[in-house]
Structure 1
Amino acid sequence: MSINFVTDKVKVRVNGRVATVEMNRPEALNALDLEMIKGLVSKLKEISESDDIDVIVLTGNGRAFSAGGDIKTMLSDLSETEFFPVMDCISELVITLYSIPKLTISAVNGAAAGLGLSLALAADYIIADSKSKLAMNFIGIGLIPDGGAHYFLEKKLGELKAKQVIWDGKMMSAAEALELGLIQEVTDNLQESLEARISDWLKRPVQAMIKTKKILADSNRPQLLKILELEKQGQLKMRRTFDHQEGIRAFIEKRTPKFIGK
């Protein structure tokens, strides 16, 4: 049986034991604004309560998984009282996806950049289309990664490689991300590979797999929460720097930024 839930910015399709959660702002390359973030949290929590669903697929509608945080939020001059609730919503989304008692897959099509990549990394398994591009590119506008990226990158790559990825901020091909250890699978047919992975998982003792996930997530939760808090405080400071303002101006003007280290 298939059941469909649709909101403006998040679509959920349930087919048997699998729920597909689709970011739905294709005209904005699924950039994450506050409404979408809240919608994702709401739908994930709703799915977590269902005993009938074992696997969640997170993906994006259209040409991208997610191009990152919404540029309007970056451009706005938010005060602490306005900025912190936005960051807290991001933290809630990441913790919810990371800890949810289901097996999760990020199916990456097109770009997964900035906060979009942070979100993808919170899943248990990442499959990327061979033509997709991934980037932890906050540095280009004078910001630090958020969405728990420091935690996920350090866990996956180790401290030295994590810093390199963050500081370089370069766009990686799916093959480069696989070689680095950032993702688990690259494919020329995303849907076919996704179905194969789900079929394999559903033939296994899924509840034992989920219990292992829960044990590790419960153990790691304090560290992830600490990183999310540090990212929130750090990001506020970075938004006040000259380099961030210059990075945003350069982005809008489509030119290379001239950073001064302040």
Structure 2
Amino acid sequence: MPQQSVGLLTGTLAYADIDRGLICNLSVREWMGSRLVVFASTMSRIGYPYKDALLEVKGKIGIIKLNRPSSLNAFGGNLLEDLTTAFRELNEHPDTVFTVLTGEGRFFSSGADVKASGADSNKTWASPATKKLDSFSNFARMIEVLRSMIDHRKVLVLAMNGPAVGGGAAWFPGVSDIVLAAPSAYFQVPFSALGLVPEFGSSTIFSQSMGVHRANEFLMFGRKLTAQEMLDFGIVNQIFPQESFQADVMKYLEAQLEINDGKSMMEAKRLQNLPLRESRIYAVYNAADALAERFVEDAPKKRFEEKKKLLEARSKSKL
């Protein structure tokens, strides 16, 4: 694959991959003889500097990788912006058929970034209405991520490399076209325990995928589901071995491309999802509305304070 060096400035090596139309910025961390050790921050065909989610194109397969392994790929930093940009870029890519979403490290995603939350804990609002408006403004990026997946033209493949918690479990499996999982993957949503509601359409979308009663137990009670259970429920299509998971995902999709016409697969996806789109978009809005009301009521804050008091009481009783 021909590559052309385009510069080396202040510890940053930039190169262009002519075959894939990609530009990468490589931060030089170490020089060991003839071996250059680098960490990549991918820059796309449109010149966007991906960091917290990386984008790569291999033939007809686009790969988006959540890239915050130190925080278990929680939704902090620029991850949501990177995700939305990547989905949009691959949606318009002229050559790809599959879009794969996966994670770096041992987790797929731990959901909300707890360290980044709580900035408004001491803020006051003029009215419940203004408080709700603030909540809605905070949800804008999340809503656009969901819409980007619902409207994605390519076959969306979720490659669950590890556990998914909260939004990591609720947002992605139901709107994906194919779900592949490693044995270590599990799914859990503690929404009710935190005084929240099933996020961004997950109640409707999971009901469409696994049935109302199973969805209720998962979303309402926070039941932890293993990859095998999700396979049995029809959410997961296949489970691949942990040690070769990413390679097996690529082999599986490449085999489909050898057998099946890409445009036909994309059309099958479009026809399958066409009657579901409106209900899913409404579900995303309705969930955002209900979630905003929970914040207006201070339900999550009250649940946190209750749990804190309970833990303190248990700690004192052991003294």
What TM bracket, shorter-length normalisation? 0.7 to 0.9
Identity over aligned residues, as a percent? 20
Within 5 Å, which residues of 2 pair with 1:1-262?
1-2=19-20, 3=22, 5-6=42-43, 7-33=50-76, 35-72=78-115, 74-77=117-120, 79-121=131-173, 122-188=175-241, 189-203=244-258, 204-241=260-297, 243-249=299-305, 255=311
- Letter of the structure 2 residue corresponding to residue 150 of structure 1: S
Structure 2 Cα separation of the partners of residues 71 and 110 of structure 1:
19
Deviates further, 210-219 or 58-67: 210-219
3-state SS of the aligned residue for 1:130?
coil
Check conservation: 1:24, 1:60, Cα contact below 8 A: yes
**Aligned pair in 2 of structure 1 residues 98, 242: CA closer, same or farther (>3 Å)?**
closer
Structure 1 Cα separation of the partners of residues 307 and 232 of structure 2:
29
Structure possessing the higher radius of gyration over alpha carbons: 2
> How big is each residue's C-alpha offset from its partner over 1:157-193, in whole Å with a ceiling of 9 and x where there is no partner?
1112211111220222211221222221222131233
Structure 1: runs of 5 or more not aligned: 258-262
Deviates further, 26-35 or 68-77: 68-77
- Letter of the structure 1 residue corresponding to residue 257 of structure 2: L
Deviates further, 196-205 or 70-79: 70-79
TM-score (norm 1): 0.88
**Aligned pair in 2 of structure 1 residues 178, 59: CA closer, same or farther (>3 Å)?**
same
**Aligned pair in 2 of structure 1 residues 252, 40: CA closer, same or farther (>3 Å)?**
farther
Check conservation: 1:99, 1:214, Cα contact below 8 A: no
Structure 2: runs of 5 or more not aligned: 1-18, 25-41, 44-49, 124-130, 314-319
Structure 2 Cα separation of the partners of residues 67 and 165 of structure 1:
16
Higher RCO, Cα 8 Å, sep 6+: 1
TM-score (norm 2): 0.73
Greater per-residue strand proportion: 2
Check conservation: 1:118, 1:149, Cα contact below 8 A: yes
Deviates further, 186-195 or 18-27: 186-195
- Letter of the structure 2 residue corresponding to residue 245 of structure 1: K
Q: How many residues align?
A: 258
Structure 2 Cα separation of the partners of residues 256 and 166 of structure 1:
28
Check conservation: 1:9, 1:35, Cα contact below 8 A: yes
**4+ runs deviating over 3 angstroms:** 1-4, 76-79, 240-243, 246-257
**Aligned pair in 2 of structure 1 residues 251, 127: CA closer, same or farther (>3 Å)?**
farther
Superposition RMSD on alpha carbons, in Å? Answer: 2.6
Check conservation: 1:137, 1:171, Cα contact below 8 A: no
